[in-house]
A and B are shown apart, each in its own frame.
Chain A
Amino acid sequence: MLQVLFDALSLGSLYALGALGIALIFGVMRLVNFAHGDVIAFSVFALLWPSTDAVAIVFAGHLPWFLLIPFVLAVGAGLSVLSEIVVFRRFRHASPATMMIASFALGFVIRYFLLMLFSSRPKSISLLPALSQPVEILGARMPLLQLITILATIVMLIALSVFVRRTRFGLEMRAAAENFTMARMLGVRANRVIMGAFALSGALAGAISIILGAQTGTADIQMGGAVMLMAFIATVIGGLGSLEGAVLAGFLLGAASVVMQTVLPPEARPFRDAFVYGAVILVLLFRPQGLIAARGTKERV
């Protein structure tokens, strides 16, 4: 029972972090950034030297954890900010659909760039190997990593919440998410707020890639895709643009997946995702605006 709870929380953590990364950017520029998953993949591959061998040639992966983690977060944030400057800035006045397609395109560019350097074969890496040791808590055995994932996510969520509520940048971001034009008419700099949102979102992608890399022990070009899809669904269920909603829905989706894995009859388990998505449809039928509707649907910049 406790095992199920921890599984749900750790899977939910991944989805919540991913959903938050998408919701942050959607909030300030109404862009659903489908390149987010590829930023996740890129952040892991940044630890490796380019090669097409099956065994990864480590570049920065052997750094001690207190250097490795900031490195990956910085890579995610850097790539994310770069994508804003090079790509999304030019689409700021475009319709949300155009921006979304641009984000797909950017995602493909990143993915094929990785494919070119590393080939499509998943590579085995050992990221923070000390974390795979099991620990025992209240009679449940689980990898230390799972516990740390949950704790780190909670710490990140609290830090982000304090940042958004207590700092001037957070105030500007909340105002921009509600009504960007009015915020600018009060002197809030559009570029600063948008780049800040991309940096935060990218750092969250970096956090996901560390967790995924350590959990699976592989670096795979496709690794961001599955998380990205679930995270996107979580932002929709949570109410697009609502940060609290994204986190809540992320954990709910994680819990739903894990619970269905245990309660479904064994023959139905391969179709678990179909049941999860069915539940998603049900939620949206009853609350099409999402669990926590975001404020402000005024026009963007």
Chain B
Amino acid sequence: MSLLAVSDVTIRYGRLTAVREVAFTLAEGEILFITGPNGAGKSSLMRAIAGVTPPAGGRIDFGGIEITGRAPEEIARMGLSMVPEGRDVFGSLSIEENLLLGTGMHSRERGWKARAASALEEVYDTFPILKERRHGQAGLLSGGQQQMLVIGRALMTNPRLIAIDEPSLGLAPNITDQVYERLIGLRAHRKLTLLIVEQSSTRAVMVGGRMILMRGGQILLDGDAGAMGQSEALQAAYFGYGEH
């Protein structure tokens, strides 16, 4: 059964339709890239999945339960962790406080303090730079460190699915490499399902996995990223003006 199922989702801002009847599913353990040029509706789709902007039509299911129209905190508590575009660290909070925010949702469960502490250690093991500066203000971190912080923070919620909107935004290519290296490592290690939005398809072709290409609020292509990288359809989808 699919972990995430998006069925005919339409998103509108006033009279502007940002996403038109988009449908796809994501299986447990899968890695899915959603790519496409600026204004394709990728971020709108992510906001709808996270419950921030409820869709105007269609439905979204997570783990077999409908989440359309649910509050963001409820969706997060079900194990869907969103890392929004622009990273959104809490700049005035310390790095450790940023991380600990992610564990709050489990505070009613038995033994959560011990689990939170071990989750914290795990994140620090993955990103040693965060441990070094744990009491420092998060706002003072570099872009790459902030990206690691928000990925670590998402891990603290013990999610089944991490959705990341443009992890490479504003990062130098070698830093992006590092971020992806950790992501791929985490996925193998924790059997995470990953949904990653990127503007460019290069990274998806490099990493492999499945790729959906969006443009003008619709899905143009859906298939294996490696195979798509070879085809001319990809080029046409980015730059062509054909059917639009």
Contacts and interface: CB of A to CB of B under 8 A. Distances in A.
B176 to A, nearest CB: 22
B97 interface: yes
A215 interface: no
B77 A187 contact: yes
B157 interface: yes
Contact of B76 (A184, A295, A296): A184
A186 B91 contact: no
B50 to A, nearest CB: 6
Given A171-B100, A181-B72, A182-B84, A187 B90 contact: no
A111 interface: no
B73 A189 contact: yes
Interface in B80-120: 81-82, 84, 88, 90-93, 97, 100-102, 104-105, 107
Contacts of A183: 90, 101
Given A184-B76, A187-B77, A171 B50 contact: no
B188 interface: no
A186 B107 contact: no
B217 to A, nearest CB: 22
A171 B76 contact: no
Interface residues of A, number: 20
B71 interface: yes
A185 B89 CA distance: 12
B52 interface: yes
Contacts of A175: 90, 93, 97, 101
B59 interface: no
A178 B90 contact: yes
A297 to B, nearest CB: 12
B101 A185 contact: no
Interface in B147-163: 153, 157
A295 B138 CA distance: 13
Contact of B157 (A174, A181, A187, A298): A187
A225 B141 CA distance: 44
A298 B86 CA distance: 12
**Chain B contact patch, size range:** 20 to 34
Interface string A94-133: 0000000000000000000000000000000000000000
Given A168-B107, A186-B102, A186-B105, A179 B73 contact: no
**Which of A179, A181, A186, A190 has the most chain B CB atoms inside 10 A of its CB?**
A186
Contacts of A296: 90-92
The residue among B82, B104, B105, B139 with the most chain A CB atoms within 10 A of its own CB is: B104
Given A168-B107, A182-B84, A187 B92 contact: no
Nearest to B100: A171
Given A182-B88, A182-B90, A188-B104, A171 B97 contact: yes
Contacts of B139: 295
Interface in A276-296: 295-296
Contact of A181 (B52, B102, B104, B153): B52
Contacts of B102: 186-187
Interface of A: 168, 171-172, 174-175, 178-179, 181-190, 295-296, 298
11 contacts: A172-B101, A175-B90, A175-B101, A179-B88, A181-B52, A185-B72, A185-B73, A187-B77, A188-B73, A296-B91, A296-B92
Given A171-B93, A186-B105, 7 more contacts: A174-B93, A175-B90, A179-B88, A185-B81, A186-B101, A188-B101, A295-B91
